[in-house]
Amino acid sequence: MIPTQQAFNHIVAFEVSKEMLVVHTLPADEQCTIPNKPQTVRRLLKAEVKRNRKERLGAVLIVCEATGGYERHVLDVAIDLGVPVHRAHGTRVRFFARYRGLLAKTDPIDARLLAHYGLKTDEVRLYVPPAPETVALRALHARRSEIQEMMIAETCRLDHARHKSVVTSLKAHIDFSAREVLVTRVDRFEFAAVDRHACASEQTHLPA
């Protein structure tokens, strides 16, 4: 993330859940609920950008809280539209809430709180999307961890299996999973990503 000292006057805050987004805007102090889908987020943000230009509201900032990936549509659409976006850390938001004496916790209250957090916080860090290689490596590492956990569980079941057909099935699944672990070896992809990054850097610095 990139720290910025810019003051933002027009805030669009999203309280994120898997299916829905509660949106609170400032200075209008308006709130609505929309589906957590890319096209819906895009439609809303385009409308806010249009309002910003028409009413000359000043610098606009999108704010959402990190929620384990459910915020990705907000982040992706904001970046695609070129609108500054801040992914807030949950602990800092809770401290801000305590400072303002807000103890109740509902989605509408949290959405409004996030909006004021974006308005009042100095030097918010703007979200910068990771490189495609980094995204791929993270996904691959997560998948490898899932397979390893599944292998441990299947091995434990094998210790207690009695019927031959069940033992055969468990062993076949464990063998297949072991091959998948080799396929998802992260280190091979890390070296490939480093090589691509090095080649790109060299090309950037080649003399004209």
Q: Of 74, 72, 77, 52, which is closest to residue 63 (Cα–Cα)?
A: 74
- The whole-number average pLDDT for the span 54-81 is 94
Q: How far is CA 164 from CA 46, 167, 170, 178, in A?
A: 61, 5, 10, 21
Q: Which fold has domain 2-126?
A: Nucleotidyltransferase; domain 5 (3.30.420)
Which contacts qualify for 89-97: CB closer than 8 Å, 24 or more apart? 89/65, 90/65, 90/66, 92/117, 92/121, 93/65, 93/117, 96/120, 96/121
User: For the whole model, what pTM was predicted?
Assistant: 0.71
Tokens standing for residue 79: 């970046």
The H-or-E segment that residue 10 falls in is strand 10-16
Domain residue extents for the chain: 2-126, 132-204
pLDDT tier at 186, thresholds 50, 70, 90: low
**Top mean-pLDDT range of 26-40, 159-173, 188-202:** 26-40
Name the 3-class secondary structure at 8: coil
- The whole-number average pLDDT for the span 43-63 is 96
Q: Which amino acid is at 137?
A: L
